[in-house]
């Protein structure tokens, strides 16, 4: 019976890189995306894999995909990667923009994690849930309040989900990945935005394939929070304890980028 990995938002960027890395590790991948053509392209590049159209805001779509994946084999990995970026001061976003960001990033992660637990909990070997967050979850980030708020929620939810799983003596583990700026189409679409300097304030964007490699390796560990890069993640967490200093440093770096 094949081991299955479900990856949401797998039509491009980091999701596609994670799906391919999981395929190389021997998993049969279910690549999902709201853009089914893009998900299909990803699946076609991974032997033995399939694609599915998937709006992660819909809880029942998660359940359907989980059931169909479980019919093919053991669902050992579920990656809640699908996300959207909201850039600009919090009060400038429309109602629809805020709802899309929160529903995709937060509800999508919660719905996906529940669906994963439902199909993994009766497996003797359990499984791994990987939720994608951001360094923005650690502290104050200008022009990213809505996005950062959604990633704060992903971080907190995953930690508490892991606590519930441990208290239930489950063999399922939940990991949250907090990432620095990564070179994905979602980020590149904002390259010309004057508010976007914050995305590049640490310099060069991370390579998504390198990030994917690290995350797939991290699934073998028992770490609850994985930061890429590790040293910057530690610095971001420490600076989160001093928001005024963090803001000054971020603003200075963003100004250097715009210059």
- Catalogue the active-site residues: 147
Can you tell me the distance from the alpha carbon of 207 to that of 225, in angstroms, rounded to the nearest whole number?
A: 20
Can you tell me the distance from the alpha carbon of 48 to that of 24, in angstroms, rounded to the nearest whole number?
A: 11
In 3-state terms the chain splits into helix, strand, coil percentages (rounded to 5) of: 55, 15, 30
Peptide bond into 76 cis (omega under 30): no
Angle at CA of residue 229, ends 228 and 234, nearest 5°: 95
Among residues 69, 68, 40, 63, the alpha carbon closest in space to that of 53 is found at 40
């Amino acid at each position: 019976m094949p081991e299955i990995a479900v990856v949401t938002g797998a039509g491009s960027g980091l999701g596609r890189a994670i799906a391919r890395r999981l395929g190389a590790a021997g998993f049969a991948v279910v690549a999902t995306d709201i853009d089914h053509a893009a998900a299909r392209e990803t699946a076609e590049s991974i032997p033995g894999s399939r694609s599915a159209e998937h709006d992660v805001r819909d809880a029942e779509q998660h359940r359907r995909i989980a059931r169909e994946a479980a019919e093919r084999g053991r669902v050992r990995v579920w990656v809640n990667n699908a996300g959207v970026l909201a850039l600009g001061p919090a009060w400038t976003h429309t109602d629809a923009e805020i709802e899309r960001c929160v529903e995709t990033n937060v509800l999508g992660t919660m719905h996906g994690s529940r669906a994963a637990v439902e199909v993994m909990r009766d497996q003797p070997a359990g499984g791994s849930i990987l939720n994608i967050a951001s360094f923005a979850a650690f502290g104050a980030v200008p022009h990213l309040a809505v996005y950062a708020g959604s990633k704060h929620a992903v971080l907190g939810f995953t930690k508490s989900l892991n606590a519930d799983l441990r208290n239930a003596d489950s063999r399922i583990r939940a990991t949250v990945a907090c990432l620095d700026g990564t070179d994905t189409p979602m980020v590149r679409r904002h390259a010309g935005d004057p508010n976007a300097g914050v995305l590049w304030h640490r310099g060069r964007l991370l390579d998504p394939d390198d990030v994917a490699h690290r995350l797939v390796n991290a699934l073998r560990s028992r770490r609850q929070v994985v930061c890429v890069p590790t040293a910057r993640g530690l610095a971001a967490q420490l600076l989160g304890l001093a928001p005024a200093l963090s803001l000054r440093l971020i603003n200075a770096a963003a100004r250097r980028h715009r210059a």
